[in-house]
Amino acid sequence: MELNEFGRTGFKASLFGMGTYYDPGWIAVAKLLRMQPRSEVHLKAINTGLDQGINFIDTAEIYGTESLVAKAIVRQEAGRDL
């Protein structure tokens, strides 16, 4: 994956990023019921992006997917230790 300098931060961001806005219907229900997304399909999608070198993942509080992204990253890191 091609990486680009992110301003003067020293961080290199992947040329491509991925979003985590999966399902507007889910977001509304999840917010009302204070639920967290746990979809294996979404985890697999994030891990596939990470496998390809993506390190720029867009999320927002309203999506409610921060914990899903964290879980995918933990899985990714654990896989490297195997």
The structure tokens listed for 14 are 């992947």
Query: Which residues are CB-contacts of 9 (< 8 A; sequence separation ≥ 6)?
Result: none
Residue 49 CA to residue 17 CA, distance in Å, equals 8
pLDDT digits (tens, 9 = 90+) for 12-42: 999 999 998 776 666 667 667 766 666 788 8
Query: What value does the mean pLDDT of the chain take?
Result: 84
Query: Is it the case that residue 81 has pLDDT exceeding 60?
Result: no
